[in-house]
Amino acid sequence: MSEAREYNFDGIVGPTHNYAGLSLGNLASAAHKGQMSSPRAAALQGLAKMRILHSLGVGQGVLPPHPRPSMSTLRRLGFPGSPGDAVVRLSREAPDLLPLVYSASAMWTANAATVSPSADTGDRRLHLTPANLVSNPHRAIEAGHTTMVLRAIFADPTHFVIHDPLPATPAFGDEGAANHLRVAPGHGRRGVEVFVFGSIAGEPVAGLPRRQTRRASEAIARLHQLEDCRFWQQKPAAIDAGAFHNDVVAVANERAVLYHADALDPSDIGSLPGACEMSVEGARLSLAEAVRTYLFNSQLVSVGDGTMTLIAPAEVEASQAASAEVARLIAEPDNPLVAVRYVNLRESMSNGGGPACLRLRVVLTEAQAAALRGRIVVDDVLLDELEDWVGRHYRETLTPADLADPALAVESLAALAELAEVLELPADQE
């Protein structure tokens, strides 16, 4: 088991990346509503991040964008016909639904699924449960396609179990790995899996939406046959300050847990055996500044010699308070963090998606890695091919009004069909 390695499966940003202000409680999404996006820059920024992780020796995979417009959604809503025809009719009869069928939100693969490595599970297989994402309609339509893609990649039943998403109802609201921490002495060793929830069963609350329910997390823990897990409530004040997912205020890697002390209970963290705490107090960095800069949405990764590097958004570097905290943590001798790499993800950040939102972590043994299907683990050649593909298919800019252009539907679906060939995955079944 000790040969296990962590892979980060990043969502490739799709050709229809746009700012529609769809996510209540996500402050960046609301702030950029209606602005012009740059799908090409967004995708290249994501690929540049993947290149850094790959160069650090961290396993790096990709998950394809979902086909947009979502033809399955258009058909279910009563818009048959070709993609161009369906979009033209939708923009005449229900233009408010254009952002729903065009959202590129599947790029944030931390919300694709909850993953339990085989070291933690009763049957010693890797378990994945795709998230139902019921809190937001544009995200709920991801669940079916995500399940299909994960089943295509993690197809070997001797190693992998892909569960169905939980029932798509508020009582089982589930947002995947974004509300899940794993603390273990090493990636391949048995760990404690921590589920952080906002409500028990989707009960109405004053304040911003609580997307993750305890009932959903408990079901996943049962399905994954977890031998050691915890359920913690995120402090409501943190959600109301804009931490709509726990990964906006906490990140763990092996023994290390970096978190904002106003979001989780330090005694909860202290109860984890062997955990190395890196906490940031509100007096040093306010919750508001943590949410604005996404310090805790950094990726904390092991780089091979027992040390860790933080992959942090450029917004952290530009903030005096946040960058001072990074410097303080690096200087601290009692934790494994020794370096930071700042990355420009401005396009994704403007929709509330930082470095950690863009990746789904999967710990794989060598045998499991060898059993993956598709050409989805990157090397420099694949990254070059993906950059070239983006350059040929993506628009420089997109405004909300452009979503009514039927040519965008044709372009975007053609790009995705070509990508399926590059990645050697089944073509879209939508």
Interaction residues for ligand SUG, span 371-430 (CB under 6 A): none
- Which segments within 174-322 are labelled E, that is strand? 180-183, 192-197, 229-233, 250-253, 256-260, 276-280, 299-302, 308-313
The answer to the question of residue 357 lying near ligand SUG (CB under 6 A) is yes
Which of 66, 145, 187, 245 does the annotation list as catalytic? 245
State which of residues 12, 13, 43, 178 lies at the interface with ligand SUG (CB under 6 A): 178
Q: Retrieve residue 292's tokens.
A: 């604005």
Binding of residue 316 to ligand SUG (CB under 6 A): no
Contacts with ligand SUG by CB under 6 A: the residue count is 21
276 classed as catalytic? no
Q: Is residue 352 a contact point for ligand SUG (CB under 6 A)?
A: yes
Q: Which is nearer to ligand SUG, 172 or 336 (CB)?
A: 172
Distance CA(230)–CA(217), nearest Å, equals 10
Give the pair of three-digit tokens for residue 330. 């690096």
Do 43 and 393 meet the contact criterion of CB atoms below 8 Å apart?
no
Task: Give the one residue of 58, 101, 115, 248 binding ligand SUG; rule: CB under 6 A.
Answer: 248
Candidates 7, 10, 13, 26: give the one binding ligand SUG (CB under 6 A): 26
Nearest to 300, CA basis, from 161, 136, 181: 181
* CB nearer to ligand SUG: pick between 131 and 369: 131
Tokens representing 55 are: 């160069």
- For residue 404 the two structure tokens come to 């009514």
Q: Is 317 designated active site?
A: no
Q: Which of 22, 90, 194, 415 binds ligand SUG (CB under 6 A)?
A: 22
- Determine the 3-state secondary structure of 105 from DSSP: helix
Q: Are 419 and 93 in contact (CB under 8 A)?
A: no
What is the Cα–Cα distance from 57 to 151, expressed in whole angstroms?
26
Please indicate whether residue 175 is annotated as part of the active site. yes
CB atoms within 10 A of CB 320: 8
Query: Rounded to the nearest whole angstrom, what is the least distance from the CB of residue 361 to ligand SUG in the complex?
Result: 11
Residue from 11, 12, 13, 23 in contact with ligand SUG (CB under 6 A): 23
Q: Residue 140: beta bridge partners?
A: none
CB of 53 to ligand SUG, least distance (A): 17
Helical residues (DSSP H) of 332-428, grouped into ranges: 346-349, 366-370, 380-393, 406-422
* Of 180, 357, 393, 430, catalytic: 357
Residues 41-100 contacting ligand SUG, CB under 6 A: none
Q: What is the SS3 assignment for 203? A: coil
Residue 353 lies near ligand SUG (rule: CB under 6 A): yes
Q: Which residues are at the interface with ligand SUG (CB under 6 A)?
A: 19-23, 26, 29, 103, 105, 108, 110-111, 139, 178, 245, 247-248, 351-353, 357
Residues noted as catalytic: 175, 245, 357
